[in-house]
Amino acid sequence: MPIWVYDEVMARAATTSDVFNAIAEPQRREILALLRAGERPVTELARELGMTQPGASKHLRVLREVGLVRDRKAGKQRLYGLDARGLRPVHEWTGGFERFWSESFDRLDAYVQDLKQARQGE
């Protein structure tokens, strides 16, 4: 197997098996954001994002494989919806930075209060 084929297969495998890699792609994050409002057919998602239907379908397949999107048949179309439970690993990982952000905002608030007091003293 040529090295470029191996690399492509490995990249695809990593993307489709890991939620972090799946959401690293900006268009997939846009799809997730659109699905927050409710289920949508692939044609609507593709139109909203300015992409082809096959392109949107590929992104949806990756998101479904990592557990972020579910689909169901509704008449002649398939509707895609958000399954936010799949974001739990991302939430848990980013939650580890909550203390850092809280402390940063506390420092910013203290700085703003100091500025206000300094202006009142002028």
Domain-by-domain residue ranges, the chain? 1-82, 85-122
Say how many C-beta atoms besides its own lie within 10 A of residue 13's C-beta.
Answer: 11
DSSP 8-state class, residue 68: S
Strand order from edge to edge, sheet including 69-74? 40-41, 77-82, 69-74
* Confidence band, pLDDT 50/70/90 cuts, at residue 4: very low
- The string of pLDDT tens digits covering residues 16-66 is 568 999 999 999 999 999 999 999 999 999 999 999 999 999 999 999 999
The answer on pLDDT for 117 being more than 80 is yes
Contact 66, 16 (CB under 8 A): yes
For 92, the enclosing helix (H) or strand (E) is helix 88-95
Confirm whether pTM is higher than 0.75. no
CATH number assigned to the domain with residue range 1-82, chosen from the 4 options 1.10.10.10, 3.40.190.150, 3.40.190.10, 3.30.1330.10: 1.10.10.10
Pick the closest to residue 29 from 69, 71, 78 (CA basis): 69
Quote the CA–CA distance of 48 and 58 in Å, as a whole number. Answer: 16
